[in-house]
Chains A and B, each alone.
Chain A
Amino acid sequence: MGNENKLINGWLMLHIALCLIFIFAPIAGSFVFSLNSDRFPSLPLGEFSLDWYRAIWNDPLVWSGFGNTVIVGLIVAVIATILGFGGAYTDYRYNFFGKSFYLALALLPPTIPVVIMGLAMLAFLSRIQLSGSTISVVIAHGVMCSPFAMAIIRLRLSQMDPDLEAAAWNLGGNEWATLRHVIIPFTRPAIFAALFITMAVSFDEFAVAWFVSGLNETLPVKILGFLQGQVSPRINAIGSLAFLSSMTLIVLAQLLLRNPNEGSK
């Protein structure tokens, strides 16, 4: 019995390892290929080279795409976090007629396929003369990112002692003062986590941005362009850098969420 158990456990652990290999092979592969001199990497691998990084460094299109990505990401993070904070607090604090409709509207966007979101946004925004601008990407990403911000902040609010707010009111604080001196300090780590995570989501979103961005392409849309055109390992170099910056944001967010005492007075 004990032996059999070990065997089964061994197989299960092997299965986990295989799943992780499958999931991380393309990510690790892209790192390796980005540092490889071959245009079509195969076995045996070519020699170490930084050519692809040099190529993107010298490519003005990559820089303008990068600029758009960062601008959009920063604005989207702020907007999505403000919207998400309001939604999370509303869900935490109030019960009202039509609340399930409110929550559905707030949380459903990630379940709509991106091609459909893209088409709907394009048709709508071009009707109001906004498509093809950076603002259109901000609008679309605001819709897609605010559910994430809301979920993160809502989770933090559910850890708050409900008496805390009541105590603040009893001490004479009105709702605004309570929000400022109790709620926001308590949720501060989650607010920062939401800023970082929505920024990371916006950094990687390509489909809707592709539909609506016109000439003001963000970097992921550029990658889509590279994919459609000639095969170019520059994608790997851009992807590796984008991965590192996203991971930095995620690790920052994780660190903030791990220290629940940070930020509260």
Chain B
Amino acid sequence: MMKRPSLFSLVLAMPLLVWQLAFFLFPLLFLIAISFWTVKMFQMQPDLSFANWQRILTRGVFWDAYLRTMILATSAAVLTSAIAFPASYAISFKLSERAKRWMIFVLIIPFFTSYLVRVYSWQVFLTDAGIINAALGHIGLGPYPMLNNTFGTLVGMVTLCLPLVILLQTFSLNFVNRDLIEAAHNLRCGRLRTVASVVVPSAKVGLVIAALFAFILSFGDFVSPLYLGGGNPPTLSIMITDITKSGQQWPRAAVVAIMMIATLMTVAFAAITYAYKERGK
């Protein structure tokens, strides 16, 4: 039985719905539409042409960038998760409630600092004559090239993702039943084995979701690959900014963007399916 919605409920519910339909969903659908448009005389013309798709998808440059972006984002997700886990484990299991709350507050701070400023700051740390190489030079090491390469890109991506991943992992570890761990210890299960066979499986959903967020953020990031990785050869997001800013070939950029969204949706679906698989068995 459906009641007619009251004026009151509509006034509260509709503004958000209308705003997000008009300015979020519609632009994304419009992106799909313009991927079939053509550009004539620097003007986009409504059309139903597959030329843009053909042009992008038959290019080696695109697939190279695609592969590179996948590898970078996967590495960033794995690396961030691996670095974050011992920290999240310690926060969740070893700290007092008070200290835990403080850690969470401290880890929220980076979300409100400019990512661009942090990346610029890393440039100063990482250049050949920068802080880290100067410090290493004092003990007779280096200089090591750390900027404009994959290392630099990954430093930036980990900077972007680490606070979020630690927070998400900590929240999921907080829900792990403490009695299970007690039981494992009573059964003479070693410390590492307890972590591997009790803690990680119990917190699996949260750990996978945290890694997924790291993947999504790194996959779409254009700042680290550009300003710490050198930008050449490009990643997919650099391709989009280049194509968009250098002229009217937005339909081609739209094709790249749709490929990115399709990839992210596939990865997200796979990760969530994996996360919830075998639960309760």
* Interface residues of A, Cβ cutoff 8 Å to B: 8-9, 12-13, 15-16, 19-20, 22-27, 29-30, 33, 40-43, 79, 82-87, 89-90, 93-94, 96-97, 102, 105-106, 108-109, 111-125, 127, 139-140, 142-143, 146, 150, 175-176, 179, 200-201, 204, 206-207, 211, 220, 223-224, 227, 231, 235-236, 238-239, 242-243, 246-247, 249-250, 254
Contacts and interface: CB of A to CB of B under 8 A. Distances in A.
Interface in B130-163: 130-131, 134-135, 138, 158-159, 162-163
Where chain B touches its partner, the secondary structure class is helix
Enumerate the 9 nearest inter-chain pairs by beta-carbon distance, A residue then B residue, closest first. Answer: A113-B220, A239-B117, A12-B90, A43-B134, A26-B121, A124-B27, A120-B27, A26-B118, A90-B13
Given A102-B13, A111-B216, A27 B121 contact: yes
Given A105-B20, A124-B30, A143-B20, A26 B222 contact: no
B24 A109 contact: yes
B23 A140 contact: yes
Interface stretch (B49-57, B197-205, B250-258): B250-258
25 contacts: A12-B86, A12-B87, A12-B89, A13-B90, A15-B87, A26-B119, A26-B159, A27-B113, A29-B122, A82-B15, A86-B15, A87-B13, A97-B2, A102-B17, A106-B20, A111-B264, A119-B31, A120-B30, A120-B31, A123-B30, A123-B250, A204-B114, A239-B121, A243-B113, A247-B112
B247 to A, nearest CB: 13
Contacts of B91: 16
Nearest to A147: B20
A121 B117 contact: no
Contacts of A30: 117-118, 120-121
Nearest to B261: A116
A223 B115 CA distance: 11
A13 to B, nearest CB: 7
Interface residues of B, number: 84
B185 to A, nearest CB: 11
A163 to B, nearest CB: 20
Most chain B CB neighbours (cut-off 10 Å) among A22, A27, A124: A124
B75 interface: no
Contacts of B180: none
Contacts of B134: 42-43
Contact of A142 (B19, B108, B129, B253): B19
Contacts of A8: 191
Given A41-B131, A87-B13, A105-B25, A146 B20 contact: yes
Given A105-B25, A139-B23, A142-B19, A250 B120 contact: no
A242 B117 contact: yes
A121 B27 contact: yes
B113 to A, nearest CB: 5
Where chain A touches its partner, the secondary structure class is helix
Nearest to A122: B244
B118 A27 contact: yes
Nearest to B239: A115
B261 A112 contact: yes
B172 interface: no
Interface string B15-40: 11101110111111011001000000
Given A41-B131, A146-B16, A239-B117, A175 B8 contact: yes
Contact of B94 (A13, A25, A97, A175): A13
B121 A120 contact: no
A124 B163 CA distance: 33
